[in-house]
Amino acid sequence: MTESHIAELATRLGRRDAIIEEPQAVERLSKDFYWYSPILKRLLDDKRADVIIQPQSVEEIRKIVSFSFTENIPVTVRGSGTGNYGQAVPLEGGIVLDLAPMDRILAIESDGVAVCEPGARLGAIEIAARKAGWELRCYPSTYIKASVGGFLAGGSGGIGSITYGALRDNQTVRAIEVLTMEQEPRLLRFVGDEVHQILHSWGTNGIITKIWLALGIRRDWAQIAIAFPAFSEAYDFGEWLSRNDKIRKRLVTIFEWPIPSYFIPVRKICPEEKAIIFCQVDDPQLTTVTAEAKDCAGQVTFAQPYQEPRRGPLLTDYTWNHSTLWAIKDDPALTYLQCNFDPDRVRDQFRLIRARFGNDFLFHLEMVKNDTGRIIPSCLPIVRYRTEPYLNEMIDYCREIGVSVANPHVNQVEGGGRFRSDNRQLRAKYLFDPNGLLNPGKMATFRKVESILAQS
Ligand code: FAD
């Protein structure tokens, strides 16, 4: 981008303070947690925007988009930059559109729907929802910082998914408003099933400007940590707990040793050499779960009834992709994968992977509900990175034995496992970003030439 581009943008916005050019800030706001992957680290380290723009309204976004379309300038949307496969890293420079200032929670409606601007932080939505008797159905472990727009465009699920499934399931995303990347940007509203053309598209086919998110009924969640001598025993108990419909849960996470050894602040509740389960259950059921765990030879190392405000550790800070963060902090040669085990063959699959890769593949399981309502062991294994071919061998072997893998070491929507086989996201790209200016390079199947032909 040239100086005159930037001057013209400032004129159109009627203010200069929305535009950040200071190199360190540009660098910081061009990055996310892509360095989780040694492969993406190599590929994305030198990528950055020309400028960052922080709009405060849809009207400001419209002015930026219209100008970018005319001048052929790429625009990459950013929420809070906590994505961990470079989703928000601009591959072709241009503008990073930082939506953090658009963070208003517009309403918590009486039927349990949060209406928000895209930059609203999930932690803030959770607080507002709880005050009104509701709570987030599911959220990533980064919820304090992560934005709701970034979660819809880049995330998949998390804490709560054991009850409500993934973000894309059960009409959790009721409706979205989206601005298109065109000369005259259109503000479109998608309701119900229509949202799936934009969800998890990494900001490649429209800019989400408003969100209607269905909430769950508020519960007071107690926390428990239960240690077991062997991973197989921890898995047996975790599977039983997850499938027991009488016990309401927000989290069941199972770690094999030595993963708990990476959790420095809670090391004292993680006995040496033992597998451990971290869970959140409905407060009135804490005593039942504790008793059941003891009956199954589990050692309850931490049991905390619901408290507001909470004192002491928050177990979710060690689950989902936070587990990976603690592991990488301890040993930078570690990284991760995203897998779904087959619930009917899972024990056999554990055995085969251990036989093939030994302790280079450590089991970290998050029990979740899938789109058919079945509880399945989703896995974010901590894996040792030796070489790229070795990592690919792990992925290939998993797939060979029926473990599905959403590869977090690729930087394209199609590679990550949430690309729809009906190609709805790709079709939306042709319709709403015909010149391929939104987060270019991230939707690999989009062809600019075909788009131009279709328009003519
Ligand atoms: P960003 O990283 O800023 O953006 C994500 C993608 O969305 C980018 O492609 C961006 O271009 C696009 N985007 C952002 N806003 C918009 C918008 N308004 N319109 C269109 N596109 C947009 N993810 C999970 O799903 N579950 C987890 O439990 C989880 N745990 C994590 C733990 C750690 C420690 C880390 C580092 C990451 C984790 N993640 C997890 C990934 C990430 O934190 C979440 O997906 C989070 O919701 C992303 O939100 P964000 O605001 O940071 O989005």
Give tens-digit pLDDT for 154-185. Answer: 999 999 999 999 999 999 999 999 999 999 99
Q: Which two tokens stand for residue 72?
A: 């052929």
What torsion do the CA atoms of 142, 81, 332, 317 make, to the nearest 10 degrees?
-10
Q: Is residue 171 in a domain?
A: yes
Q: Which of 43, 67, 98 is the last residue of a domain?
A: 98
Atom of ligand 1 lying closest to residue 167 CA: 25
Q: Is residue 453 in a domain?
A: no
pLDDT of residue 255: 98
Closest CA to 65 of 432, 453, 408, 441: 432
Kindly give the distance from the C-alpha atom of residue 9 to the centroid of ligand 1, in angstroms, as a whole number. Answer: 27
Atom of ligand 1 lying closest to residue 118 CA: 18
Helices (H), 249-300: 286-295
Closest CA to 210 of 229, 192, 194, 188: 188
Q: Is residue 424 in a domain?
A: no
pTM over 0.75? The answer is yes
Is 401 in the same domain as 278? Answer: yes
Q: How many CB atoms lie within 10 A of CB 119?
A: 22
Give tens-digit pLDDT for 245-264. Answer: 999 999 999 999 999 999 99
CATH code, domain carrying 66:
3.30.43.10
Is 177 in the same domain as 292? Answer: no
Is 149 in the same domain as 84? Answer: no
Q: Which two tokens stand for residue 264?
A: 């420095």
Is 212 in the same domain as 243? Answer: no
Residue type, 294: K
Q: Is residue 325 in a domain?
A: yes
Kindly give the distance from the C-alpha atom of residue 439 to the centroid of ligand 1, in angstroms, as a whole number. Answer: 14
CATH code, domain carrying 320:
3.40.462.40
Is 212 in the same domain as 226? Answer: no
Q: Does position 348 have pLDDT exceeding 80, yes or no? A: yes
Q: Is residue 354 in a domain?
A: yes
Choose which residue among 77, 97, 179 to substitute to test ligand 1 binding: the one with the highest number of ligand atoms within 8 A of its C-beta: 77
Is 367 in the same domain as 285? Answer: yes
Choose which residue among 40, 142, 176, 180 to substitute to test ligand 1 binding: the one with the highest number of ligand atoms within 8 A of its C-beta: 142
Could you tell me the residue range of the domain that residue 232 belongs to? 221-405
pLDDT band at 417 (very low <50, low <70, confident <90, very high): low
Contacts of 64 (CB under 8 A, 6+ apart): 9, 12, 13, 53, 55, 75, 95, 97
Give tens-digit pLDDT for 61-114. Answer: 999 999 999 999 999 999 999 999 899 999 999 999 999 999 999 999 999 999
- The residue assigned the tokens 């039942």 is 288
| Cis bond before residue 305 (omega within 30° of 0) | no
Number of domains, the chain: 3
Gap between the Cα atoms of 314 and 279, Å rounded: 11
In this structure, the residues whose C-beta lies within 6 A of any atom of ligand 1 are 32-33, 76-84, 87-88, 99, 118, 140-142, 146-147, 149-151, 153-158, 202-203, 207-208, 320-322, 325, 439
Is 109 in the same domain as 88? Answer: no
DSSP 290: H
Gap between the Cα atoms of 405 and 399, Å rounded: 7
Q: Which of 185, 217, 249 is the last residue of a domain?
A: 217
Is 260 in the same domain as 401? Answer: yes
Is 150 in the same domain as 291? Answer: no
Kindly give the distance from the C-alpha atom of residue 287 to the centroid of ligand 1, in angstroms, as a whole number. Answer: 36
Contacts of 194 (CB under 8 A, 6+ apart): none
Q: Which two tokens stand for residue 450?
A: 């075909």
